[in-house]
Amino acid sequence: MFNRGDLAGMAVMGVTGGTIGAFIGEGGLAWIGTVGLMGAMLGAVVWRMGGEQFFLLIVIGALLGGGLAYYVSGMGSVLLGAATGGAMGGFIGVNFMLFRK
């Protein structure tokens, strides 16, 4: 059903979905597992459609955003900074792919 190459996209979107599930279900394992699985399936689809650069820019944005948040305001803001950086990385990635064609 899935190729080995799909694992990177599944990992990025699965972890993102699991994190969202932790916030939605207030830490319940059923929410984390369900939303994480949905994210992994979506990640495999996006990866197969050519989203390698998209995922790379999301990961780079999340790392830079989390690092900047830690530098500016400490450990309590790292999650918010990483989420914001990942969203900006995805936004830049989509625009980069659109302008490249």
* pLDDT computed for residue 2 by the predictor: 64
* pLDDT computed for residue 1 by the predictor: 62
Q: Is the pLDDT of residue 55 over 90?
A: no
* pLDDT computed for residue 72 by the predictor: 95
Lowest mean pLDDT among 20-29, 39-48, 77-86: 20-29
Do 71 and 36 lie in a common domain?
no
Do 87 and 98 lie in a common domain?
yes
Give the pTM: 0.72
Which residue is associated with the tokens 């990385």?
89
Do 25 and 62 lie in a common domain?
no
Please, what is the average pLDDT of the chain?
A: 84
Domain holding 83, by residue range, is 51-101
Share of the chain above pLDDT 70, in %: 96
Query: How many domains does one find in the chain?
Result: 2
Sign of the dihedral through C-alpha 43, 47, 49, 52: positive
CA distances 44 to 2, 13, 17, 83, Å, are 7, 8, 13, 20
Do 2 and 36 lie in a common domain?
yes
